[in-house]
Structure 1
Amino acid sequence: MNIGTLSLPVDRFDSLLSLLEQGGPVVTLLLGLSIIAGGLVITKLVQFLRTGVGRYRCSSEALSLWLSGQRSEAEAMAASSDALMARTLLQLMRASQKSGWEERQLKEDIERVCAREILILRRFLKPLDMIAQTAPLIGLFGTVLGMIEAFQAMQGAGAAVDPSVLAGGIWVALLTTAVGLAVAIPVSAILGWLDARVEREQAEMESVVTAFFTGAPLGEPSSGQNAFVLARSGAAHAL
């Protein structure tokens, strides 16, 4: 093994230790917040991947089959996908064929289900938002403390002030603001992307549920037919 290949990680580790030593507890706190934010981002990405956020093809095809009267094929299509939208549509299909259910009750139930799923998707977004907002303030707080120390040292030195020492104290103080911004900027950008994905999922849920009850395909105006009534009448004929 070439010893030279180990120098880069060692240098980075030394640079990190030097950064923590110079920045003090404020930089240590910001580093801890960045680690927490990284863990939350990874958790959200895994959650979106497992729940199929953004996958709408299967639910769209299942809804088209359902509106055309092919209920068994539509249920099979929706059941074949583990995407959140497909699972929600499958639950709506099965509930609409239960005896004793009215359209109003079905709407209230599916609204409750959709609200719960969206709430789950929004989990951990608030902590990310708090980190994005507080990281610059924490960095600024560290800068203010560092500037106070630097000017106190300058006052104590009197006429024998060394400009290099003063400049060193100022740049160390500004270091905390730079670290705070370095934490906040990527967290804020990722948070905006995650929030946009959740909003799109919510809009897609509302669109699919509305199309299910109006009987109109996605992106087309309602034809005046009610898919819930059609499903119930079809089930009655089957009996």
Structure 2
Amino acid sequence: MTPESSAIFDLAGLFDLLSLGGPVVAVLVAMSVVGLAIVLLKCWQYASARVGKRSFITPALDQWRSGDRNGAIAELDDERNPIADALAVAMRGVSSGASVTIVREEAARVGARHLSQMRSYFRPLEVIGSLAPLLGLLGTVMGMITAFQQLANAGSQVDPSLLSNGIWEALLTTAVGLVVAIPAVVALNWCERVVERLHEDMQDALTRFFTRHEAAALADPASAEQGQRAGTPKTSAAHA
């Protein structure tokens, strides 16, 4: 690595970059800091929620189907995944004897709330990804105008180095804008894919649960009614 390239990574190099690019580069650097903070926040959020974990779904559904309703709910409560929360809400609703339609809507509401949280701060990333190249282009146009103004003021004593220096300094803002925008767009697409996959798996898990429950109710209505009564709190004794 040459001394000129290594200077980019030190503080003096950063100040030189800001002085050459002007306020546009300063805005782009601030946008890059915000974008990096959002990406780190989303990574922490997804890791905390374990959005990639799916191994608990089938065992919980199997426990429910075998009649161990409390065990299935308890296993879901131990998970921090949004799918587990929505599925546990559905199981509790069915166990309480509530209408399947109401339970389905409540589970969908809980799932939508989690998905909305997972989509938070997507808009700032989108703005950074679309606005950074435009700001870079604006800086380049302004720099080119300044360079040609200097060339015009030079009159007949034209110095080619004056024009070349003005052009590369102007193009610097476009490069910085692209450097900021490309990672932001990549991160946004990755986050959107994570949430999209989570949504698909959540719908799949809830559909499997409700179809199994309704199939069991049609096959053995007496058993389903007994299971609902077993999961309903005994309030009749309190009114006796």
Q: TM-score normalized by structure 2?
A: 0.86
Displacement of 1:87 in angstroms is 2.1
Alignment coverage as a number of residue pairs: 224
d(CA) in 2 for partners of 1:70, 1:51: 26
Query: What are the Cα deviations for residues 184-209 of structure 1, in whole angstroms up to 9, with x where unaligned?
Result: 11111111111100000000110011
Displacement of 1:160 in angstroms is 1.2
Residue 235 of structure 1 aligns with an amino acid whose one-letter code is Q
d(CA) in 2 for partners of 1:196, 1:89: 22
Aligned counterparts, 1:142-157, within 5 A: 142-157=139-154
d(CA) in 1 for partners of 2:178, 2:108: 40
For 1:76, the equivalent position in structure 2 comes to 74
Aligned counterparts, 1:109-128, within 5 A: 109-128=106-125
Against the structure 1 CA distance between its residues 226 and 122, is the aligned structure 2 distance closer, same or farther, given a 3 Å change threshold?
Answer: farther
Displacement of 1:72 in angstroms is 2.2
Aligned counterparts, 1:64-103, within 5 A: 64-99=62-97, 101-103=98-100
Residue 14 of structure 1 aligns with an amino acid whose one-letter code is A
| Deviation >2 Å, runs of 4+ | 8-11, 67-70, 223-227, 229-233, 235-239
Q: Aligned-residue CA RMSD in angstroms?
A: 2.2
Displacement of 1:20 in angstroms is 0.5
Displacement of 1:141 in angstroms is 0.5
1:108 to 105, 111, 116: 105
d(CA) in 2 for partners of 1:59, 1:134: 41
Q: Verify the 8 A CA contact 1:139 1:179 in the aligned structure 2.
A: yes
Residue 71 of structure 1 aligns with an amino acid whose one-letter code is R
For 2:228, the equivalent position in structure 1 comes to 235
For 2:200, the equivalent position in structure 1 comes to 203
- Which consecutive unaligned segments of at least 5 residues does structure 1 have? 1-7, 217-222
For residue 157 of structure 2, give the secondary structure of its aligned residue in structure 1.
coil
The percent of aligned pairs where both chains have the same amino acid is 38
Q: TM-score normalized by structure 1?
A: 0.87
For residue 22 of structure 2, give the secondary structure of its aligned residue in structure 1.
helix
Whether 1:161 aligns to 2:154 is: no
